[in-house]
Structure formats: structure tokens, C-alpha cells
A and B are shown apart, each in its own frame.
Chain A
Amino acid sequence: MSEILGLKAKLGLDVFKHDKEPHIKIKPGMEKDPRLKRAVLVCPAGLYEEKEDGRVELTIDGCLECGTCRIACGTEVLEWYYPSGGAGVQFRFG
């Protein structure tokens, strides 16, 4: 699916603090797992993208840490942690 209009600008309004490593990773070899395709639909930040060859790619920048992908896809396909202390999104309103 193509990039969602205006979404990047919206995410750009939030404060994100850098983490050393991505806190969510697609487990190696699972890139084409059908469960991952759910993440493309459910992620409110639109960070999962299905490529032409059927692989799903995740861009961690802009992650709102909502947990939806962990619920939808499960931990068999995703390695899912919270970012380390003080890293990741910091809501100013919430």
C-alpha cells in the first residue's frame, strides 16, 4: 500500500528520543509471513509497508509504542520490546 498522505507530517509533530537499537524487529525469515500483513492495516503510524515481492518492511522512526502490531501479529513474527528508558516517543499532551 502506498504512503498515507500527511501522516509523516503528523508524526513529525511528536517528540521522539533516539534509541540505540530499534525496539521492534521483524524476526529474520518472517518478512513474508501472512500475519505481518495485518500490521500494514492496523499500525496507526503506518510504519509497515508491503513491498512488491511480498516482504513487509518496518520503519521504526515514528513508532507511537501503542502495541497494536504486537497484538495483531504476535511475538512469533515480531521481536517486540519497549524502547530503553528515556527513549522513544514522549507525549507532551497525551
Chain B
Amino acid sequence: MNIVVAMKQIPDLQQIRIRQRQPVLDGVPAALGIIDKNALEAAVLLKEEEGGQVIVLSAGNEEVEETVKEALAAGADQAFLVLDDSIENADGSLKAPILAEAIKKIDDVGLILFGEGSGDNYSGQLGSRVAELLGLPQVGYASRIQIQDSQAIITRSLEDGDELVKVTMPVVVSVLGDINEPRIPSVTQILKAGRKPKEVLELDELELDLSGLPQIKTLSNLAPETNRKQVKVGSVEELIQALKTEGVI
């Protein structure tokens, strides 16, 4: 059985700076989604118990080929990539048919894992959309996954309790960030990652009709206005001190 883990390339969020309320993305290194790494770790742990292959699936620009190395180093066996510059900033409505189509090309898929939300937009839609397109069951908020024969037993952590569900595979599962602690690959693993197989498809090889998509348009993406600090001062000296501490004067 193969486990597919969908991972999104995002800018390293900590490296983004804000200039005039706009994020500066120029030169910001690419990384893989934070919760996506939990999904990968979950897949690798299952593989170590049950066998099979972990296939990381990602769609984005050409940089993905480099970025995905991190996943191959952290235990994925191979990568399946759909590359096109137009996909990089695409939303879920566009990404979902691409990923679904790609998954159809992978044999013997038992589990399809997603992070509960992406590291940048966190719209949390992709797992559900892909499941719908593939006609598969979907389980969200997973905090534990076990496999019993052809079934997956999944703990869902909800606000006021845990729910245990049993589902026949193949199934789409989106995992929570606290399901595990992703491993940090060693230098040797990183070096070996470069030699693991990668299947790369161009977007037009998928023969998808993406007309009319995306349906959601981002109008603006602004950093919040800085709130007033509401520092109470009792004297002129304190005011001057406070202003100096802030570097204003």
C-alpha cells in the first residue's frame, strides 16, 4: 500500500518582512508547510510499521523540485510533482483538481494525508476538495492514525472530546499539528534525498479543464495596523523614557 502526502511549498514565514504593510517576498527561501511536515511524519511512522511506500505529492513552480528534497530526506520514498509557474499562488479550487488528477496516476493508494491547513493561507479546504473529486471518504482533525488490514482507525481531536472513527481505505485524512514531532533529517539522509526518484509532470500533461478557476480572488493582503501600546506614564520623565525605549526619540 502506498501513502500519498500532499505538501505545499510556502515561503519561510519567519523570513518575511513587512514593508509599508506589504509582505516582502523577494529572496525569501521556500519551505514546506509546517503541518504538512506532521502529515509526512505520520506517513513515515505508518510505513515503518506497515511497510509500503511514502510518496510526497506537491504542485507549484520549478523551485518545488528543490524544496521537496526536505521531505525526501525526512523519510518520503519518492516525489510526484506537478510543476508550473501558474500553480504557485493558486488557491484550493485550482490546486484540488490538479492534485486529484495526479493521485489517479499513482498506484495502490491507501492513505492520502494532508496537513489540516497550509502554513501560509490556512484555508484548510484542499483535503475535502480532493476527497470530493476522487469520491473518497475524508476524515479531518486526526491526532492518531492506525491501520488494521484494509481499514484505518483514526482519532479525531475535537474541541470537547475525542472521536474514534473506522474507515475503509482509500481515505483522505487531514492531520493536526500536534499529532507528532517531525524528525529532523541527518546530513546523510539529505544527501541521499537527492538520489530518490522524482516523477515530474508539467501541468498540461494532466489534461485538465481549469477554465473559470480560480473562483476566489485575493483583493489585498495587508499586515494589521499596529495597535497603540497604551503605556501609562505618570510624569514627563517617564514619557521621555518610554519614547526612548521605543526608539522614537
A contacting B, Cβ–Cβ less than 8 Å: yes
Which residues of A are at the interface with B, using a C-beta cutoff of 8 A?
Answer: 3, 5-6, 8-10, 13, 15, 17, 85, 90, 92
Partner of B247 from the list A3, A9, A17, A85 (CB cut-off 8 Å) is A9
CA–CA, A9 and B245, complex, Å: 8
Interfacial chain B residues near A9, Cβ < 8 Å: 245-247
A6 to B15, CA, bound (A): 22
- Which residue in chain B gives the minimum CB-CB distance to A3? B245
On chain B, which size bracket covers the interface? under 10
B14 within 8 A of A: yes
Does the CB pair A5–B27 fall under 8 Å? no
* Cα of A15 to Cα of B246 in the assembled complex, Å: 19
Bound CA span A80–B1, Å: 48
Nearest 6 Cβ contacts at the A-B interface: A6-B247, A5-B244, A9-B247, A15-B14, A15-B15, A5-B245
* 6 pairs, CB–CB < 8 Å, chain A vs chain B: A3-B245, A9-B247, A13-B17, A85-B184, A92-B15, A92-B27
Q: Which residues of A contact B247 (CB under 8 A)?
A: 5-6, 9-10
Collect the chain A residues with CB atoms within 8 Å of residue B245's CB. 3, 5-6, 8-9
Once bound together, how far apart are the Cα atoms of A92 and B15, in whole Å? 8
Q: Residues 179-218 of chain B: 1 if any A CB is under 8 Å from the residue's CB, otherwise 0?
A: 0000010000000000000000000000000000000000
A90 contacts B15, CB within 8 Å? yes
> Are A6 and B14 in contact, CB atoms less than 8 angstroms apart?
no
Given contacts A6-B246, A10-B247, 16 further A-B contacts (CB under 8 A): A3-B245, A5-B244, A5-B245, A5-B247, A6-B244, A6-B245, A6-B247, A8-B245, A9-B245, A9-B247, A15-B14, A15-B15, A17-B14, A90-B15, A92-B17, A92-B27
